[in-house]
């Protein structure tokens, strides 16, 4: 009725945490203040005690969830990812260098370069499904992204993620076929689109045109404005010496809502690409669901 999809409410956001804590405090105050004042103390005490306990338990759950990143949105509490794969455990972070490989998905996509994190090759995680970043910034072998990702995972700023380089910037169809080649989480909360601040393909716009596919996006924005439904988290970046990009980022930032916040980062001219990527990965690490272990092997072909 208010135009807000409850399923997209970010459970890890500061606003949600503050609201839940405030409700719990209010419930405790009402319980203590009214204990000896109600005209019908029996039922009133029972109800107020039940509400206070539930609020305190909810507060604990929200705080634990924020610390562990188990459920990014309200909808993910009950959502079953496509394909009947139900997450049952989080994956411990394994540090180390990831590796690049080439996929051959067919379907007119050509070869797709992919980055696999060190955790992907861990034999103890053979049934793990990983979140995915679609990269619109060209070949990974010519990008600082793999090294920056390794450092971000080592520094516990990012969960281990698989990266798919959109061939020629073509994103359409990539998400649908990649899951048959790699162990990827199929749910929306585990997919993001990322591109460098100088990327001419506008990754934020890509995500805005496919809101059911991506939960987060960061990079250059062009002309698209957020609409409902949309990715639940956006960070629009722009180079300060590109007025059109700055204007687009600020227009999108002006459409921010509590349930779908939009951040903007105006990058000073001359800032190194690696430094900007570090900021993007730091942001993405707080807004993208991590890997999970499932009870199914998936039967996927592993890349060489």
Check whether residue 160 and residue 191 sit in a common domain. Answer: yes
pLDDT reported for residue 228: 65
Nearest Cα to Cα of residue 292 among 149, 161, 145, 118: 161
pTM score, two decimals? Answer: 0.65
Check whether residue 191 and residue 231 sit in a common domain. Answer: yes
Check whether residue 153 and residue 64 sit in a common domain. Answer: no
Nearest Cα to Cα of residue 218 among 228, 206, 203: 203
Tell me, yes or no, whether 46 lies in a domain: yes
Per-residue model confidence as pLDDT tens digits over 92-122: 555 678 899 988 877 667 788 899 999 898 8
pLDDT reported for residue 162: 94
Check whether residue 212 and residue 280 sit in a common domain. Answer: yes
Tell me, yes or no, whether 273 lies in a domain: yes
Residue 83 has pLDDT above 60, yes or no: no
Check whether residue 166 and residue 41 sit in a common domain. Answer: no
Check whether residue 94 and residue 140 sit in a common domain. Answer: yes
How sure is the predictor about 77, in pLDDT bands with cuts at 50, 70 and 90? Answer: low
- State the chain's mean pLDDT as an integer: 77
**% of the chain with per-residue pLDDT over 90:** 9
Check whether residue 164 and residue 265 sit in a common domain. Answer: yes
CB 192 within 8 A of CB 218: yes
Check whether residue 134 and residue 108 sit in a common domain. Answer: yes
Tell me, yes or no, whether 11 lies in a domain: yes
Count of the separate structural domains present in the chain? 2
Per-residue model confidence as pLDDT tens digits over 182-203: 899 988 889 999 988 877 678 8
Check whether residue 96 and residue 123 sit in a common domain. Answer: yes
Tell me, yes or no, whether 82 lies in a domain: no
Check whether residue 122 and residue 223 sit in a common domain. Answer: yes
Q: Which domain holds residue 174?
A: 90-293
Check whether residue 105 and residue 28 sit in a common domain. Answer: no
Tell me, yes or no, whether 299 lies in a domain: no
Q: Which of 14, 42, 77 is the last residue of a domain?
A: 77
Residue 46 has pLDDT above 60, yes or no: yes
Tell me, yes or no, whether 198 lies in a domain: yes
Q: Which of 32, 56, 77 is the last residue of a domain?
A: 77
pLDDT reported for residue 131: 93
Tell me, yes or no, whether 106 lies in a domain: yes
> Phi and psi of 119, rounded to 5°?
-65, -25
Check whether residue 46 and residue 162 sit in a common domain. Answer: no
pLDDT reported for residue 232: 65
Tell me, yes or no, whether 35 lies in a domain: yes
Per-residue model confidence as pLDDT tens digits over 158-172: 889 999 988 766 777
Least confident of 1-15, 58-72, 113-127, 280-294: 1-15
pLDDT reported for residue 295: 58
Per-residue model confidence as pLDDT tens digits over 199-242: 767 888 888 888 888 888 888 887 766 666 666 688 888 888 88
Tell me the C-alpha distance between 219 and 204, whole Å: 6
């Amino acid at each position: 009725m208010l135009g807000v999809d409850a399923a997209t409410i970010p459970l890890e956001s500061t606003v949600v945490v503050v609201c839940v804590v405030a409700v719990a405090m209010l419930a405790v105050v009402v319980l203590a203040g009214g204990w000896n004042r109600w005209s019908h103390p029996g039922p009133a005490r029972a109800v107020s005690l039940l509400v206070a306990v539930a609020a305190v338990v909810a507060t604990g759950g929200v705080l634990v969830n924020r610390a562990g990143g188990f459920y990014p949105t309200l909808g993910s509490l009950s959502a079953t990812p496509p394909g009947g794969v139900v997450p049952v455990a989080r994956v411990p972070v394994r540090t180390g260098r990831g590796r690049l490989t080439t996929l051959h998905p067919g379907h007119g996509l050509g070869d797709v370069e992919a980055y696999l994190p060190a955790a992907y090759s861990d034999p103890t995680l053979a049934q793990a499904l990983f979140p995915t970043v679609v990269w619109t910034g060209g070949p990974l072998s010519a990008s600082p992204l793999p090294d920056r990702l390794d450092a971000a995972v080592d520094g516990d700023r990012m969960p281990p993620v698989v990266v798919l380089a959109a061939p020629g910037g073509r994103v359409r169809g990539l998400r649908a076929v990649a899951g048959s080649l790699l162990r990827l989480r199929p749910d929306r909360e585990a997919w993001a689109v990322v591109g460098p601040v100088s990327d001419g393909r506008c990754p934020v716009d890509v995500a805005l045109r496919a809101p059911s596919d991506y939960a987060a996006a960061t990079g250059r924005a062009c002309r698209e404005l957020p609409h409902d439904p949309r990715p639940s988290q956006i960070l629009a970046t722009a180079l300060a010496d590109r007025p059109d990009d700055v204007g687009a980022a600020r227009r999108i930032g002006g459409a921010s809502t509590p349930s779908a916040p939009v951040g903007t980062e105006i990058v000073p001219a001359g800032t190194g690409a690696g430094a900007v990527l570090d900021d993007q990965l730091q942001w993405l690490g707080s807004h993208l669901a991590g890997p999970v272990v499932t009870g199914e092997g998936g039967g996927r072909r592993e890349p060489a």
